[in-house]
Amino acid sequence: MASLRDIKTRITSTKKTSQITKAMEMVSAAKLNRAEQNAKSFVPYMDKIQEVVASIAVGSKDASHPMLVSRTVKKTGYLVITSDRGLAGAYNSNVLRTVYQTIQKRHKSTDEYAIIAIGRVGRDFFKKRQIPVFLEITGLSDQPSFADIQGITSQTVNMFGDGTFDELYMFYNHFVSAISQEVTEKKLLPLTDIASSTKLMSYEFEPSQEEILEVLLPQYAESLIYGALLDGKASEHAARMTAMKSATDNAKELINSLTLSYNRARQAAITQEITEIVGGAAALE
């Protein structure tokens, strides 16, 4: 049985831990509010650029672009968004498990696919399993700007353009609510279903549609990556806030249990001392 000193030490250390987890919960809650606003404010831009691109690509018979055409798939790229740090519950494990299972189902050789990793946890996961990582970026801020990832987004799109990949998929956690995030798979390139979820409009273009697509399509694909990153960041902060709240609640329960054990042990010690005193007094009579 643990001594009173041991129990007291555990109570003190657990209280300190709960203070840390509570502080992390509050920090994540503050970051979540801003990240959620960033993700939501980016949606109107994405909707508009998708509408314009779809209207040109589908509404004009003369307009064409390699990014809109499916081709024989020899190599597949997987862009995976994770965090740089842990302590976020199942945020990273859910998306990494989904990607890994998808790869196992679709491919028989590492020559058939490669990873583009955003986040240290994902990069380390794939490298540890000898899965090829072509591009990686770590150390992004909690509220990333487009300039922070413009390098890797443009390289990713160019790798499809130069034939390194014949198709490209994105995996990330979609923010549903503060307590719910969904692992999402989205086909990034080629943009074969761009018009399936948007309303087509009629536009007049200057210069030609093909020249506009040449500029707009890479920007659109890069924006899809950035939008997924903002969504993933909101999910990360929500997952970490929930995990830290759960840790704080568990610490409080443990403190209550230890306090009860401490009081019982203390009471038993006092009872034993009284018994010894009474026994000693009776022996002297």
Percent of the chain with pLDDT over 70: 91
Give the pLDDT confidence score for residue 60 in this predicted structure: 57
Give me the chain's average pLDDT, please. 88
User: What's the rounded mean pLDDT across residues 41-48?
Assistant: 87
The reply to whether the predicted model has a pTM over 0.75 is yes
Q: pLDDT at residue 198 above 80?
A: no
Helix (H, G, I), strand (E, B) or coil at 155: helix
Given the structure tokens 């950035």, which residue do they identify? 226
User: Does residue 237 contact residue 87 with C-beta atoms inside 8 Å?
Assistant: no
Q: pLDDT at residue 188 above 80?
A: yes
Give the pLDDT confidence score for residue 248 in this predicted structure: 95
Q: In what order do the strands lie in the sheet with 180-189?
A: 133-137, 113-118, 76-81, 167-177, 180-189
Bigger pLDDT: 190 vs 209: 190
Q: Contacts from 16-19 at CB under 8 Å and sequence distance 24+?
A: 17/247, 17/251, 18/247, 18/248, 18/251, 18/252, 18/255
Determine the Cα–Cα distance for residues 95 and 134; give it in Å rounded to an integer. Answer: 19
Ordered domains of the chain (ranges, CATH): 4-24+246-284 (1.10.287.80), 35-242 (3.40.1380.10)
Structure tokens at 94: 């859910």
Bigger pLDDT: 272 vs 90: 90
pLDDT tens figures, 92-149:
999 999 999 999 999 999 999 999 999 999 999 999 999 999 999 999 999 999 999 9
Structure tokens at 9: 């030490």
User: What's the rounded mean pLDDT across residues 255-279?
Assistant: 85
Going by pLDDT thresholds of 50, 70 and 90, the confidence category of residue 181 is very high
